[in-house]
Amino acid sequence: MGGNLYYLLASLPSLGGLGTAPPMGFAELLDWLGPSSRYGRLVSLIFLSDDLLQREAFLAGQLEEPAPAVLTMGQIRNESPLPEFLVPPEEAEEGGSRALETDRVWAAYFRHVIQIAQTENSPFLERWARMEISLRNALAQERAKRLGLEPSDYLVAQELADPEADFSEMLREWASAPTPLAGWRVVLRERWNWCRANEAWFQFTEDELLVYAVRLLLLTQWRRSSEEEAALSAKT
């Protein structure tokens, strides 16, 4: 498997810096890996996070043409049930209070990812998921404070967060961003920097492949933000 991974990593197109064009799509990478292979299954969990973001945006009327890599269009549109692991019991609660449906889905997602990461012995995937929980909760807490809401009502899977994560500097930059799109890019940049600090460059390990998938995800999300910015500019 190590030899196969070496050739796989060596054959992948290189990724540029944040803001450059992604060299391939999510579906293309999954096809390359084989969706049912170990690598394909782990990378699918990373790309699923983007599908859930697109689903949330579509259901809120903020996205007209979603392009999911893991979920079906019916699941994105809420016309078909989500995978069973994303559907917690209706009475499930987050943060000691009844959570929004989207928050319950995210909590179920993160718990599933960490469970798979531990079962499959994928330390990077577990670190990534714990970081994402911490980052999401930090942003949710800051938004709630601004709106005079109870922050604990909007936190998910708190017991699985990285206890050492510190996003205070990023939150200050995010809070002073002139537009929501600019704030989103602050968050994407934070994630990109986290990858840089956790990469396994030229070691040809599974971690390097998963970092590649996360970076491809971030490049794609940055490109979408640029397209959205251009569309907004065209309307003014």
Task: Answer yes or no: is 178 within a domain.
Answer: yes
| Distance of alpha carbon 16 from alpha carbon 200, whole angstroms | 17
Cα torsion angle, 23, 19, 179, 102, sign:
positive
Considering its fold, how many domains does the chain have in total?
Answer: 1
- C-alpha–C-alpha distance, residues 18 and 25, integer Å: 16
Element holding 228 (H helix, E strand): helix 206-235
Flag whether pLDDT at 97 surpasses 90: no
Give me the domain span that covers residue 194: 2-11+38-235
pLDDT score at 2: 42
Asked if pLDDT for residue 98 goes beyond 90, the answer is no
Q: Residue 35: which residues within 8 A CB-CB, separation 6 or more?
A: 41, 44
pLDDT score of 50: 98
Between the alpha carbon of residue 184 and those of residues 42, 136, 188, 191, 226, the distances in Å are: 25, 12, 6, 11, 11
Q: pLDDT tens across 156-213, in order? A: 999 999 999 999 999 999 999 999 999 999 999 999 999 999 876 556 688 999 999 9
Residue 16 lies in a domain: no
Note whether residue 17 is domain-resident: no
Residue 67 resides in a domain: yes
Whether residue 121 lies inside any domain: the answer is yes
Section 62-88 average pLDDT: 94
Determine, yes or no, domain membership for 32.
no
Residue 24 lies in a domain: no
How high does pLDDT run on average in the chain?
Answer: 90
pLDDT for the residue numbered 95:
46
pLDDT at 200: 64
Structure confidence by residue, pLDDT tens digits, 127-152: 999 999 999 999 999 999 999 999 88
Backbone angles phi, psi at 97, to 5 degrees: -140, 165
Record the pTM. Answer: 0.92
Residue 130 located in a structural domain: yes
